A and B are shown apart, each in its own frame.
Chain A
Amino acid sequence: MNDDTAAKGALLAALRLSRGLTQQELAAAAETSQASVSKAEGGKDDLDPVRWSAIERCLAVPTGTFMRTQSFAPESRIFHRKLRSTPQYALKRLRAEVDLAHLRSSALLSTRKPELRVSRHPIPHDGFVTPGEIADDVRQELGVAEGPIGNLTGLLEDSGVVVIRSHLEAMQVDAIAGWPDGGTPVILLNDHVSSERQRFTMAHELGHAVMHDVSASALQESQADAFASAFLMPAESFAAKWPGRDIDALVTYKSTWGVSLAAAIRRGRDLGLLSESDYTKLSIHMSATGAHRRELDPMKSESPRLMTDAIESAMAQGATLQALAERALMLEEEFVSTYLENHA
């Protein structure tokens, strides 16, 4: 198999999946056969330039995208936080999204890539090291002071993690994270969930990335939750000013820490600040009033800046929007809406 053909095939599969198309749907739109799309994706057969152009139009990527492709074989560890049971086809699409995000961030951050300050902390199987301890270590590693984290997105970006807000609701996940060996970790966030949940999810994905090789078991999901909880609400400082069980005081407190009310009271229970019965009463209250679905006193959402700043800097130095969009394998319109709109 020719390397170029294999790379083109892998990219084709990733772009097709990210558009939510089946091979059959793409073939029909590009007026070719499903078999030829399948062979091309498998790297078994190259297509003629006319067919590649037709496919590029269908996938809404710049002309010549496939002809310029020389390598595309990312091998990331991938993690995703499920909203409900995620179907198999969605899992493939998730991987494609992460692979493309890596490709795009590498292409656009080539000169402004922050130093990666996060390292791996594999968690032992026997429970002797808790996710909370690892969260404390990572906070220390990143130089986070005691107390609440004001801008989590900024902290992660400064630490070399790329954060991208994306429309992931169709795939029934809150977020996807990928971390290729020696590469830049990327977190894609569902922009349709509350800011509090986005922050918890980012910390959850960070937990996966530093602790786990794969995201599979319920235990690992629970470990990532515990990591996120301890990362955002470190035990000593969170307990120090714990307001008790008054709901109004708790709403104020959760806003201080930038977490959801549900996350705050659960942390309170886990740290022995709330009794089991008080925790149950508060949970029932939240459920009865709808506060578990709609966050009380919601916080302003955080906007990733890293990619936007890199693009603006490149443009200030003379790069054209078209050239940058081409690097990101996007048409200008999508490029602007993804990286430049609503990122103030």
Chain B
Amino acid sequence: MPDQYSVISNLNLRESSRVTSQVSARPVETGLARLILQDRQFFVLGRYEQRIVTAISAPSTGLVVSGDWAADAKRTLLAAPLAQPVFTEPASLHRYRATAKQPFYIPAETTPSFFPPTLEGLLDDQRAARNAIAVTPTGQIGVKDPRVLKAALAGANALERDDVAFLVPIEAAFLSDEHSLRLLISVLNRSVHPVLLALVHDKNPLESPKRLKAYRRIFAETTGMVIPYRADATAFDARAHGAAGMAVGLIPSARRTNPVGSRGGPVADPTDMAPHVLIADLLRFTRAKMMRREWFVDSESPRCFCPGCRGAAIDRFYESTADRFQAHLHNAYELQRLHTSNLGFSTTERHDWWHAQAAGAADAYPKLASHIGRAVPVPDDVSLWSKACRS
């Protein structure tokens, strides 16, 4: 592959020679959660990104629909002949705080009946609604009371079925304390189901090197199937350290989970709707407006050669619906390319591949700085990823 961008050149970004050996499409009707999640890159779709589904067509991908409109969206998606699996994200992820007594959100009966709602029943309903897998409606799990996490584990492990994934949405503070982290790893190792691990925080859940290292440890030290859920580029570091697959977001709100009742931390300019764009060479999502106003005011912006951009400038996206769609499309293509470029790799090969990507990204920052004539510090995450660490 030629250098992808005209300015920022990351020579390590090369297609895998094994792309042709991608995992083949699997019949999703089986509902076998482990098979469906293994090696697959799911995209968590918000309300406005569903149209990019045509771009997410690789056999190694899948779709997660979320939000109030999820049921309608899934019906629309499934009306098309999709090869990849689709499942719906439980609303409990955003609306319910788990307790030790009730770790899962099970709606109260509106009228008494012989068959009150049960966890099993809710999962059956999910499957009956043509979800490729069922997902436990786990509420957000706080760090203060370890009994909540254990209650969720016990409830999930009591499910004798293989079409279910155990959703574990934890407060990011689990990553700040060694003993909470050890508890989490121990719980994940006891899960009989594949785990979707989501981080709850109103800003960046991996805000410090300490948390980044702790997050990496989860995937390195767990022995079962753990999938980073609603993640950003960190999902690739997780994968390089043992994650079986990933579920990533194309927009910022789909790359983390806000605490119940929160709409996210303060943003510099709430009216700025310009999309965040993945610059794969830098392994970084950056707002297009920031690129235009701060990086490429007086210098040529890089061009992107993904199937969506076809050589156009990387900072060309404005606030319009059409531009935002194009940016989502670009993000999807780039995330997909990164994912498929290491499919079929052994753990060691994937680790080395990721290290090379990250080292290349760390090198690309000074090049960018030199091009635009101002400092662009290497972010903590890229810096950590670029350091060789074989666990």
Contact = CB atoms under 8 A, between A and B. Distances in A.
A130 to B, nearest CB: 5
B146 interface: yes
B144 A226 contact: no
B176 A276 contact: yes
B24 to A, nearest CB: 37
Interface of B: 142-147, 171-173, 176-183, 185-187, 189-190, 203, 207-208, 210-211
Contacts of A173: none
A270 interface: yes
B215 to A, nearest CB: 13
A130 B144 contact: no
B190 A270 contact: no
Nearest to A127: B182
Contacts of A132: 146, 179
A130 B176 CA distance: 14
The interface size bin for chain A is: 20 to 34
B259 to A, nearest CB: 9
Contacts of B144: 235-236, 239, 271-272
B207 A130 contact: no
Interface string A247-276: 000000000000000000000011110011
A300 to B, nearest CB: 30
B190 A272 contact: no
A272 B172 contact: yes
Given A235-B144, A271-B143, A272-B143, A127 B186 contact: yes
Interface in A217-262: 222-223, 226, 235-236, 239
B180 A270 contact: yes
B146 A272 contact: no
A131 interface: yes
Contacts of A270: 143, 173, 176-177, 180
Contact of B146 (A126, A130, A277): A130
A127 B184 CA distance: 8
B186 A126 contact: yes
Contacts of A129: 183
Contacts of A226: 177-179
Given A235-B144, A239-B144, A272 B176 contact: yes
20 contacts: A126-B186, A127-B181, A129-B183, A130-B179, A130-B180, A130-B182, A130-B183, A132-B179, A133-B147, A222-B179, A236-B144, A269-B173, A269-B176, A269-B177, A271-B143, A271-B173, A272-B144, A272-B173, A276-B176, A277-B207
Contacts of B185: 127
Nearest to A276: B208
A69 to B, nearest CB: 44
Shortest 3 CB-CB contacts between residues of A and residues of B:
A127-B182, A272-B173, A276-B208
B186 A272 contact: no
Contacts of A236: 144-145
Contact of B171 (A127, A272, A280): A272
A276 B210 contact: yes
A276 B211 contact: yes
A119 B183 CA distance: 23
Given A270-B177, A276-B207, A128 B183 contact: yes
A222 B177 CA distance: 10
Given A270-B143, A271-B173, 18 more contacts: A126-B182, A127-B183, A127-B186, A128-B186, A128-B187, A130-B179, A133-B146, A133-B147, A226-B178, A226-B179, A239-B144, A269-B177, A270-B177, A272-B144, A272-B176, A276-B208, A277-B207, A280-B208
B145 A235 contact: yes
B110 to A, nearest CB: 32
Contacts of B147: 133
B181 to A, nearest CB: 8
A129 B208 CA distance: 26
Contacts of A128: 183, 186-187, 190
Nearest to B221: A127
Contacts of A222: 178-179
Contacts of B142: 272
A239 B171 CA distance: 15
Nearest to B147: A133
Contacts of A235: 144-145
Contact of A131 (B143, B179, B207): B179
Contacts of B172: 272
Nearest to B211: A276
Interface in A109-166: 126-133
B277 to A, nearest CB: 25
A277 B201 CA distance: 14
Nearest to A128: B186
A235 B171 CA distance: 14
A235 B179 CA distance: 14
A223 B190 contact: no
A132 B181 CA distance: 13
Contacts of A280: 208
A132 to B, nearest CB: 7
Contacts of B146: 130, 132-133
A132 B210 CA distance: 21
Contacts of A130: 146, 179-180, 182-183
Nearest to B171: A272
B391 to A, nearest CB: 17
A130 B171 CA distance: 17
Nearest to B173: A272
A269 B171 CA distance: 12
Contact of A223 (B179, B187, B189, B208): B179
Nearest to B200: A272
A132 B173 CA distance: 15
